[in-house]
Chain A
Amino acid sequence: MTLAEAQSSALAMVPADAAEKRATRRSLLLLAPALIFLAVFFAYPLFDMFGRSFEGPEGLTIAHYEAFATRTIYIRVLVITFQIALSVTLLCLAIGYPIAFVMANASPMVMRVMLVFILLPFFTSMLVRTYAWMVILSPKGVLVASIEAVGLGTPKLIYNRTGLLIGMVYTMLPYMVLTLFSIMKTIDQSLTAVAHSLGATAWQSFRRVYFPLSLPGVAGGSLLVFILSAGFYIVPRLMGGDRDQMLATIIAYQVDILLNWGFASAMAVILLAITLVLFGLYARFVGLRQLLASKF
């Protein structure tokens, strides 16, 4: 047997045996409490919502879905919702990638300081932070006043799409940065060194080696931010304009004011369905790559 043969035969897969199956069963048993908790507090409400979306005065009906599909206003809200979610995702990516990159490649000390700053917002209520932004961005606020003082005109920074995006990007950025950071931390630094030794410039080694390896983080962070943004309520409600109302606001309106639980449920199901489709696409196209990267 030559050396090459010996090496390839050592690569042969070991089949899963009975002991492994027993171990799987035992771990399922250990998981039971958590699974029961999820079933009661997560799955049940979901099924309940799903059921309600088909409930009418005279039993089962698809009237709620019909109403949604036939009224342009709701389709428009749906489009706006995904438009905004996409803008927020792209902005978070553009701002978050360099931050995560610097953090993942900084000295341990600098990295810790940066992490604290990124986690800091989570220590206060989101509502409080949103109100703080409203004060900063208000037409009589510091920011507008200083822009005016420099002579750059009087921008409108709140109660419109700009205000909405500022607020949402601010809220979503930590999720993007942390997801990117967690993947970037796993990228072997010697790969960049090796790329240099093989003749790559800084840009070439980033483009050909580092960036492709960070793609699972880009995809994961984008998906997370997109899904969170699509169902976001507080910031659009408080900082957006009348024309920037997203699906979650409409759902809340149906529940709180009109008490139309059936229609609200139907909209929630639609939002969930679209999100699931996106997730499926992610798993199909990016999941493979992520699986591959996790081998290292």
Chain B
Amino acid sequence: MLTAEAPATNVSLPATDRNEPARGGAVIALESLSKTYSEVVAVRDFNLPVEGGEFCTLLGPSGSGKTTTLMMIAGFVQPTRGRILINGSDVTRLPPQRRGLGVVFQNYALFPHMSVFDNVAFPLAMRHVPGAEVRELVARMLKIVELTGFEKRLPYQLSGGQQQRVALARALVFEPTVLLMDEPLGALDKKLRASLQLELKHLQRRLNVTVIYVTHDQEEALTMSDKIVVMRDGMIDQVGTPEDLYERPETAFVADFIGEANFVTGVVTATTAEFATIEHPAGRTIRGVCAHRFEVGAAAVASMRPEQLWLATGRPTGDDENALPGRVTEITYLGEAIKYHVIVGEARPRLAQTLVVRERARSDSARFAEGDAVHVVWPVTETRLLDGRDDVG
């Protein structure tokens, strides 16, 4: 009876010092989690370990199943198959109120009829925390999110950013070990979002809470995360640190979704343990680093970041560099950089393609003009060879 009544909590435990929260974020494990809505598979065989205190982001386009996954962890959506473990115990069948997780929704979902104080005090009231302690905990939490003095305001009297902080305070006041966030900054303008990203990251570090964060904004994911899970069509495409994903994408989808990328498709003509050479039907030959082992004759796609490419008047002599001849079609001045669009393979219009080159602006920036014949050059080591069956966006 007692367990059925009382929601999971850490508040009633005899905490040694509440002013210095030093609890550990919970370890989460998702094991072959799947969700099927009648015919549609929203999430397919999702396996993911999340370490305690880790900031883990589920990143993907809309419809990739990231929110469904989050809602399954929160307990609002019952998985069709699979298990959810928090600190080793299976919570798959527990109702949301007994999982003891903090949840922040995109629309904040503040209770419109309650003051800021009452909103933040709500989870404590549900746990029957005595009044004096409630006042103390709420005051401390509001101080952390810098909203002291706003206790009596109603949600509609707050700006979007302030509402977001109230939602955050409310999700954290009962000291959950896990915080789930569904695009919490999605409704804010760019500048505010950037500053809140940093604040959120600091807060997460300070409270040492495990965060699972859903977003479709790759920049946001790169800024905040310890670990990014790129999702597509309900499945994991790649898991890794921001550096892993940006510098060593394993699929063309990841290379394309995170940052900007140039792609040249082709067939593998030669391969060693680390490097391979591919050839495009129009004769473009490119050497690059293999993301995984390729067989000769397999389809592959070379992926290059625009900032790794530069323009040269002639073909370089060494074989540490790839080079393709082309013609400058567009020059965009970006301030700190210059962006060139270069069309390659113009001789066969059906197979021609445009490469984007992003050179840092220099004093001799004006050395190329639209229409100039150039070579696009980039190092072999900055060329990733990825699976060619993958659709390139």
Most buried by B among A191, A197, A296: A197
Contact A292 B112 (CB under 8 A): yes
Instruction: Using A196-B96, A198-B122, A198-B123 as known contacts, say yes or no to A296 and B161 having CB atoms under 8 A apart.
Output: no
Instruction: Using A188-B109, A191-B109 as known contacts, say yes or no to A204 and B126 having CB atoms under 8 A apart.
Output: yes
Which one of A190, A289, A293, A295 lies within 8 Å of B105 (CB-CB)? Answer: A190
Contact A197 B146 (CB under 8 A): no
Contact pattern, A 268-296, Cβ under 8 Å of B = 1, otherwise 0: 00000000000000000000010011011
Contact B113 A199 (CB under 8 A): no
Which one of B100, B122, B157 lies within 8 Å of A11 (CB-CB)? Answer: B157
Q: How many residues of A contact B (CB 8 A)?
A: 28
Which chain A residue lies CB-closest to B102? A197
A199: chain B residues at CB < 8 Å are: 7-9, 97, 100, 123, 126-127, 174
Instruction: Using A198-B174, A208-B122 as known contacts, say yes or no to A213 and B74 having CB atoms under 8 A apart.
Output: no
Contact A197 B162 (CB under 8 A): no
Which residues between 149 and 187 of chain B lie within 8 Å of chain A, taking CB atoms? 154-159, 161-162, 170-171, 174
- Complex: how many Å from CA A188 to CA B106? 13
Q: Is A154 an interface residue (CB 8 A)?
A: no
Q: Is B242 an interface residue (CB 8 A)?
A: no
Q: Is B354 an interface residue (CB 8 A)?
A: no
Contact pattern, A 1-24, Cβ under 8 Å of B = 1, otherwise 0: 001100110110000000000000
Contact B109 A4 (CB under 8 A): no
Q: Is B95 an interface residue (CB 8 A)?
A: yes
Give chain B nearest CB distance to A8 CB in angstroms. Answer: 7
Q: Is A194 an interface residue (CB 8 A)?
A: yes
- Complex: how many Å from CA A7 to CA B188? 12
- Complex: how many Å from CA A4 to CA B164? 12
Contact A196 B95 (CB under 8 A): yes
Contact pattern, B 123-164, Cβ under 8 Å of A = 1, otherwise 0: 101110000000000000000001100000011111101100
Contact B112 A193 (CB under 8 A): no
Q: Is B76 an interface residue (CB 8 A)?
A: yes
Which residues between 57 and 80 of chain A lie within 8 Å of chain B, taking CB atoms? none
Give chain B nearest CB distance to A288 CB in angstroms. Answer: 11
Q: Is B386 an interface residue (CB 8 A)?
A: no
B113: chain A residues at CB < 8 Å are: 212-213, 289, 292-293
- Complex: how many Å from CA A200 to CA B8? 11
- Complex: how many Å from CA A293 to CA B113? 7
- Complex: how many Å from CA A103 to CA B122? 27
Contact A3 B161 (CB under 8 A): yes
Q: Is A195 an interface residue (CB 8 A)?
A: yes
Contact pattern, B 95-115, Cβ under 8 Å of A = 1, otherwise 0: 111011111010101011100
Q: Is B363 an interface residue (CB 8 A)?
A: no
Which residues between 2 and 30 of chain B lie within 8 Å of chain A, taking CB atoms? 5, 7-9
- Complex: how many Å from CA A221 to CA B4? 36
Contact B111 A191 (CB under 8 A): yes
Which residues between 1 and 51 of chain A lie within 8 Å of chain B, taking CB atoms? 3-4, 7-8, 10-11
Contact B161 A197 (CB under 8 A): no
A198: chain B residues at CB < 8 Å are: 97, 103, 122-123, 126, 170-171, 174
Contact pattern, A 239-272, Cβ under 8 Å of B = 1, otherwise 0: 0000000000000000000000000000000000
Give chain B nearest CB distance to A227 CB in angstroms. Answer: 26
Q: Is B65 an interface residue (CB 8 A)?
A: no
- Complex: how many Å from CA A196 to CA B8? 12
Which chain B residue lies CB-closest to A212? B113
Contact B109 A200 (CB under 8 A): no
B100: chain A residues at CB < 8 Å are: 199
Contact A194 B154 (CB under 8 A): no
Interface residues of B (CB under 8 A from A): 5, 7-9, 74-76, 95-97, 99-103, 105, 107, 109, 111-113, 122-123, 125-127, 146-147, 154-159, 161-162, 170-171, 174, 192, 195
Would you mind naming 18 contact pairs between A and B with Cβ atoms under 8 Å apart? A4-B147, A7-B161, A11-B158, A190-B107, A194-B105, A195-B122, A196-B97, A197-B75, A197-B171, A199-B97, A199-B127, A200-B7, A201-B97, A208-B125, A213-B112, A292-B112, A292-B154, A295-B156
Known interface pairs A195-B122, A204-B126, A289-B113; 16 further A-B residue pairs with C-beta atoms within 8 A, sorted by A's residue number: A3-B161, A3-B195, A4-B146, A4-B147, A7-B161, A8-B159, A10-B159, A11-B157, A193-B76, A193-B105, A194-B109, A197-B102, A197-B103, A197-B171, A199-B127, A213-B113
